[in-house]
Structure formats: C-alpha cells, structure tokens
Amino acid sequence: MTHIYLIRHAEAEGNLYRIAQGQHDSNLTDRGWRQVHALQKRFADIPIDAVYSSDLYRTCATASALYKPKNLPLHRRKNLREICVGAWEQRTWGDIARTEAQAMEDFGQHMDRWRIPGAETPGDVLTRIRTAVEQIAAENFGKTAAVFCHGYAIRLLLAYLQGYTLAETGSKQPTGDNTAVSLLEAENGTLRIVFQNDNQHLQTPEYLAEEKVQKRSTALEPGLWFTPMSLPEHAGLLQEAVKAARGDADADALTSSVEGCTVITGYLNEKPVGVLQLGPEPGYIALAYIRADCRKRGFGVQLIGQAVQHARARDGERLCAALPPQSGAETFFRDCGFRPTEKTAGGKILFIKDIGFDPEILGKS
C-alpha cells in the first residue's frame, strides 16, 4: 500500500489580493508562512519518504514545511502546476467578474464548459494531475509521499476519484483551504481517498490567535478592479483621500502630490472606492485610501496587492511607506506585513515590507 498526502499550498499573494495567479509565480503572505509553520508541526511525527511539489514558488515554499525539517530533497514537477488561466493571469477577480461574469461562474461551477483564450481546459488539467499523482505513487511503491499542489487542480482530482463528472464538480466538490491536507491510498494502480481537505492544524488556539487580516469569504470572491486615475473626473476622490491622509486638499497640494507618481483608482463594481498613489521611488506607497463606507471588507489589502505588482514589474523587492508617529494607518500597514524601521528626515517612521523571493526556494542558491 502506498500513501500520498496531497496538500494545497499556503495562502499566496493572489489569494489575499484577489488576483488570478494561474501559473504565474507569487510569494506567500504572512498568513501563508504561519500556515507553513502550522503544517510543519502537524507533520512533525508523521514519517514521510519523499516530497514532491509543482515548480511554482508558492508550492515549493509550502513544501519547506516538510522537506527541510525531514532533510529530504524536493522533487519539483511542472505537471503538478495549477491550471493555466491564459488571458486571465495577473488580472484581478474583480476585473474578470465585471467583464466576463459568465465565464467566471463557469470556472467555479461549470468546469465542463469553461473555455478562455490561452488557457488549459479543466479536463486537460485533470488528466495532467491524475497522471502525475499516479506516477508518484508508482515511484514510491509501499512508501509515503507528500505532494504539494494547487486548489483548482486538487479539486478536480478529488472530484474525479469520487466519481463526479466535470459538470458535477462545481456543485459537489468544494475547494480546500490553503494547506488543507488530503490522504490518498494507491494499490494495484487505483487511487482511493482516505480523507480530504482537512485543516485541523489551522484550528489551534496558537494559530487562530495570530489571525488579523480579514480572510475572504469565498475562493472566488471578486473584490476590486483597478485603472489609472482619471483627472479631473476623480479629483473629488483624490481630494478626499489626500485630506484624510495629510489634511491638505487644496488644488496646489493635489497637483504637487501626484507629480511623478502612479495614481490608481480602485472600483467596487462601477463605484470608485479607493486610491493608491505610488512613487516616485520604486515600491514607495505615498497614499493608500479606501472610503469609510467600504472599509473592514478586505479592500485595503487589495491596494497593497497592486503595489506589489507595480514594484515587481520594476524589479522591486520591497514596499515602503512613511507614516507620522502614532498614525491611524499604522495598524493597517502592520497587519499587511510592514515593519517599522528608521525615522525619515521629516520625522516620519519608514515602514518596510519585503516582497522578494528566497533564492533557496527558487532553487538558485
């Protein structure tokens, strides 16, 4: 009998920032790394003979929960990757929901009819993942292996093993939480589910005590979509944001505040609700603002996601924001993973968030 622990990666940037990741590389969030530590504790006394992962960063990083403490090599497999979502990759779910609502519904609920340009079909992904897991089972006959994979791909495989068709998968097979664990048995070329999508390691008082940033309610909750700010159309929103952040909202202050910067408007459906001002230095957040009536809904952290994308496109490895002492925004930035460093010449405190990739996890060290 061969045993396969099938494990979804920890929370990654796309999960938190509501961006379609597909096969694009993304880092783990602070919550994701806490999930990795919880997973390591869960498997501390469970013997594992081999560890496999897709070659994407978020799964390799999650696999470090097992292969590092158990001193095992990590076997990276491209055929364990998440579904390629083609033209959707790196777009926000809010943008996709706004422009392709039916296709988005099909993606989550009607896998048999989902098709978009440049993407794999769910049927192709199921064949790829099933073949990969069957090969791993054959390579580890009579042993126990851990396989780190992705939410959509795992969902398709678990549904198939229960006899569900692609048309039935959307209504009958839920997506497991980040780091959810399923156990498969392989015997005589047949895979069988022992248990699925177990997240008991995320229910401990120790883990739950550190939960701060609001978690989305569903896997495909859309969130915001973003576009470069249009002036003077959105001058009122910018004035509101600048006044809330700095107390100066006259025309001259507005003009000088955005000079040389990238300014982005965040929309909820068709309503402008947020502003993100970046630069002029790469990775510098000059302003992050969500209207008062739209706060406490996880939208602010999606502004940070846009800042991450903007910085990465310019080879940036950190974000920074300068806040006045005892600023009301300090709690938000801390909850988003920023840490205070030195004081600036103007007496503000510089908060830094690292967004770089670990060369060891990338396999380049």
Report the CATH number at residue 284: 3.40.630.30
Would you say residue 116 lies in a domain? yes
My answer on whether 73 and 168 are in the same domain is yes
Domain final residue pick, 144, 173, 208: 208
Quick: pLDDT tens for 34-83. Answer: 999 999 999 999 999 999 999 999 999 999 999 999 999 999 999 999 99
What is the predicted pLDDT for the residue at 249? 53
The string of pLDDT tens digits covering residues 200-209 is 999 999 999 9
pLDDT band at 111 (very low <50, low <70, confident <90, very high): very high
Across all residues in the chain, what is the average pLDDT? 92
User: Domain check: are 141 and 269 in the same one?
Assistant: no
Question: Rg of the chain over CA atoms, in angstroms?
Answer: 22
355 is a domain residue: yes
Asked whether the predicted pLDDT for residue 251 surpasses 50, the reply is: no
**Domain shared by 161 and 240, yes or no:** no
**pTM confidence score:** 0.93
216 falls within a domain: no
Q: Please give the residue that has the higher pLDDT: either 98 or 258.
A: 98
**pLDDT (mean) for 98-114:** 96
Q: Tell me: the pLDDT tens digits for 267-307?
A: 999 999 999 999 888 899 999 999 999 988 889 999 999 99
Question: Does the residue 219 lie in any domain?
Answer: no
Assess whether pLDDT exceeds 90 at residue 132: yes
CB atoms within 10 A of CB 147: 27
Question: Given pLDDT bands bounded at 50, 70 and 90, which one contains residue 213?
Answer: low
Position 176 in a domain:
yes
Residue 26 and residue 175 share a domain: yes
Domain boundary among the residues 173, 208, 243 is at 208
Among all chains, which residue has been given the structure tokens 């910018």?
A: 238
Q: Is the same domain home to 149 and 249?
A: no
Total domains present in the chain: 2
The stretch 353-360 carries a mean pLDDT of 94
Torsion of the alpha carbons at 306, 311, 315 and 318, rounded to the nearest 10 = -120
Q: Supply the range of the domain harboring residue 42.
A: 2-208
Q: What confidence tens digit (pLDDT) does each residue in 138-192 have?
A: 999 999 999 999 999 999 999 999 999 999 999 999 999 999 999 999 999 899 9
Q: Which residue has the higher pLDDT, 265 or 230?
A: 265
**Do residue 308 and residue 254 come from a single domain?**
yes
